[in-house]
A and B are shown apart, each in its own frame.
Chain A
Amino acid sequence: MPSDDATSGVPLAQLQTRMAAALLAAEPAQQGLAEALFAGAQPGAAGLRVHRHTVLGALSQALRHSFVSVDRLVGENYFDRMALDYARRRPPRAPQLDVYGSDFPEFIAAYGEAQGLPYLADLARFDWQIDELARTRPADRARGADGEALGEAAYSGVSLLLEEGGARLRFPSSLRCHRARFPVERLREAILAEDTAALAALDLQPAAHDYALWRTSEGVKVQALSPAAACFLGTALLVRDGAAALAAAAAALTASGNHGGESALVDLLTREILTAGFVQIETSAPRPAN
């Protein structure tokens, strides 16, 4: 913006660009502004330190709030180093800090210091999914298979028929599938419980781990899924077609060496889908027992 009436010459736009850069700078040599810009009882450097502390502290805190188990696992100092590095490179573009950090997991994946913890980025992705779901508005009047309140509103998401004239499955609008390379659910659980024995016992070799996540009035629920069940649910949520979901599950069973055909498919559905807390079955027949 032209500054025809700016006084000693630094237009406001330029001053703000320089000040923002100084506040986000990592190198001490770049953190200052010329003292001639400032007047008054405090040196400008002292005021800038206060603002830098506020800005970076708020960003680090926002990330800590969303990536709870990453923070607990690596500790405050390590987390702050990663968070500040991220905040300096990728400051938010909007003032809603509760949604800041969606690409923090990818940053962690490429973060040099974290290379010794190959599961850390996966854990961060899982933290983000849980936090994002926890922020969603809970459905009213809901009642689930395990007794928590869930109702009509909770099942306003995908519904599908498994066969013509058969039962209709209805899923919560919040339901989503999540795939990880590490057992992130048990990892997160052990970290938050500070259960070092459970942590030590975890097999942290890379392998596919699938989960269903959904929101109830009680909080976020997680259920581990077999690869075939994950194929069924992922397809069901994506294409909303029962036959396609069954075909995907059957193909996944075959690919895993299970050639049990229809009975294997029925067994899979009974064990992992029809009895799950995230499904409502619309049928006059009684619901399958757990």
Chain B
Amino acid sequence: MDPIPARAGIGLRTPHHGLVRSDVPAAAWLEVHPENYMADDAALADLEAIRLHYPLSLHAVGLSLGSAEGVDDAHITRLRRLIDRLQPGLVSDHLSWSVSDGRYLPDLLPLPYTQEALRIVCRNVERVQEGIGRALLVENPSTYLRFADSELPEPDFLAAVARRTGCGVLLDVNNIYVSACNQRLDAAETLAGWCAALAPAAVFEMHLAGHAIVSTAAGTPLRIDDHGDYICPAVWALYEQAIAWRGPCPTLVEWDTRLPSFEVLQDEAARAQSCLDRVAQQGSLAPRAPRQVPMPSASHAL
């Protein structure tokens, strides 16, 4: 297993397989969605060849950690097989649900942040961690609605999941921005709330991405986390704030829709890397966090 370095990596998508496999372009590390590689097929053959040249992280979208009916053992088994085969440095999924009554809805659906939901998510995260034999990172999703039932702020909810299960946190900075804007909240203050709720050492990875702005039926703007554009200036500013708090941390540039050339992704990753380098330089004067991020452990009390 190659650990994921505290550097800027790139989300690998199928249209770039050929190029990455043949040219081995520069990237500190790569991240993929494991659901796209769960059959012993051509895509996995590509990824196994690519894996020889890059540290790899698996970012799942199908575990459905928030499902009241529990997580699917068959899916955990498939993920475990892939982990054994690819030896990724990190494994993650989202604080959301996508399975109800055995039906899979391909989206990261929101949870009410209640005590009941907290118990369910913790039970599911523990089940997954047992099944894959290692700790998971859990990511904050973008949200478009908020439940009246919620008893806990989202950062407190995820911090409690991490404390109770020993999982790590994947902090998606774009998602914080999108969710804050959609709830008409100040994004910097919202991030400050996250920093107050979490210990820096609980965060093992960050995500950056672009998003879209649409107009609702009522004519109000709504930000959609479509991973289909350049990272916007406001998200870069939040990222600087986040890594100043956390210290250098593996950071992924995600781009899924309207996928540009790999060079564009490299440019975005280079910009993230320059932010990381600046923080590392400041950190070398006053050390704060290790450059090499240790793996979270299921028994790790945060």
Name A residues whose Cβ lies closer than 8 Å to a Cβ of B. 1, 3, 5-8, 10-13, 15-17, 19-20, 23-24, 36-51, 54-55, 58-59, 62, 91-99, 134-138
Contact = CB atoms under 8 A, between A and B. Distances in A.
B59 to A, nearest CB: 13
Given A12-B116, A55-B107, A135 B43 contact: yes
Given A38-B145, A46-B217, A94 B69 contact: no
Interface in B22-54: 35-36, 38-45
Interface in B138-173: 143-151
A15 B104 contact: no
B129 interface: no
A95 B35 contact: yes
Given A6-B149, A40-B145, A94-B62, A137 B40 contact: yes
A54 to B, nearest CB: 4
Contacts of B149: 6-8, 10, 37
Most buried by A among B40, B66, B100, B144: B100
Contacts of A47: 110, 143-145
Contacts of A45: 217
A138 B291 CA distance: 40
B103 interface: yes
Contact of A137 (B44, B74, B106): B44
A1 B183 contact: no
Contact of A42 (B112, B114, B116, B216): B216
Given A12-B66, A55-B106, 13 more contacts: A1-B116, A1-B120, A6-B149, A12-B117, A40-B145, A42-B144, A42-B222, A47-B145, A50-B144, A51-B107, A94-B62, A96-B62, A138-B45
B109 interface: yes
Given A54-B107, A58-B107, A39 B114 contact: no
B239 interface: no
17 contacts: A1-B68, A12-B117, A23-B109, A37-B148, A38-B148, A40-B146, A42-B145, A42-B182, A42-B216, A55-B105, A93-B104, A94-B72, A95-B104, A96-B39, A135-B39, A135-B41, A137-B45
B258 interface: no
B194 interface: no
Contacts of B61: 95
Given A42-B216, A50-B224, A135-B43, A92 B147 contact: no
Contacts of A62: 106
B97 interface: yes
A36 B100 CA distance: 22
Contacts of A94: 62, 72, 74-75, 104
Interface string B194-222: 00000000000000000000001110101
Contacts of A10: 149
B261 to A, nearest CB: 21
Contacts of B102: 93
A40 to B, nearest CB: 4
Contacts of A24: 103, 105
Nearest to A61: B106
Contact of A41 (B35, B39, B105, B182): B182
Nearest to A15: B112
B68 to A, nearest CB: 4
B199 to A, nearest CB: 26
Given A12-B68, A39-B150, A46-B216, A95 B114 contact: no
A138 B98 CA distance: 32
Given A11-B68, A38-B145, A96 B45 contact: no
B131 to A, nearest CB: 15
B204 to A, nearest CB: 23
Contacts of B35: 95-97
A62 B109 CA distance: 19
A59 B270 CA distance: 34
Given A41-B182, A93-B103, A95-B75, A51 B109 contact: yes
